[in-house]
């Protein structure tokens, strides 16, 4: 599988996790479509970084993967601060597919 296909597959995993778990993470979220897309993009980057798929993420993503809360908070934008619980649940509850 090519890297672009792997990243697309990871994004599908994140989108599915988002749809199934977002109310558990946030209650009823009041996110704009752009914020939702941002959360899914960052979640994709987090899993790709953890699983060594494609590129490594930036400072916030690497801090989340490294379990460095202080660095993650320092590097987070306002949407990512709110989504930290979601990202942690995503990392903890999502196993790398054998097909990657």
* Model pLDDT, residue 25: 62
Domain count of the fold of the chain: 1
Residue 98 forms part of a structural domain: no
Position 73 pLDDT exceeds 90: yes
Q: 79: domain range?
A: 3-93
CA distance 18 to 15: 5
Residue 100 forms part of a structural domain: no
Residue 85 forms part of a structural domain: yes
Residue 53 forms part of a structural domain: yes
Residue 32 forms part of a structural domain: yes
Residue 99 forms part of a structural domain: no
Tell me the per-residue pLDDT of 8-67, one tens digit each, with 9 for 90 and over. 999 999 999 999 988 776 666 788 999 999 999 999 999 999 999 998 899 999 999 999
* Model pLDDT, residue 76: 97
pTM (two decimals): 0.92
Alpha carbon of 49 to those of 20, 23, 33, 72: distances in Å?
22, 25, 24, 15
Residue 20 forms part of a structural domain: yes
């Amino acid at each position: 599988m090519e890297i672009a296909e792997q990243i697309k597959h990871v994004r599908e995993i994140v989108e599915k996790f988002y749809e199934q778990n977002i109310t558990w993470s946030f209650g009823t979220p009041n996110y704009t479509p752009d914020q939702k897309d941002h959360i899914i993009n960052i979640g994709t980057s987090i899993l790709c970084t953890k699983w060594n798929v494609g590129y490594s993420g930036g400072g916030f993503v690497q801090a989340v993967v490294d379990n460095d809360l202080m660095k993650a908070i320092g590097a987070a934008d306002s949407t990512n601060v709110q989504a930290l619980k979601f990202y942690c649940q995503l990392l903890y509850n999502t196993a790398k597919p054998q097909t990657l």
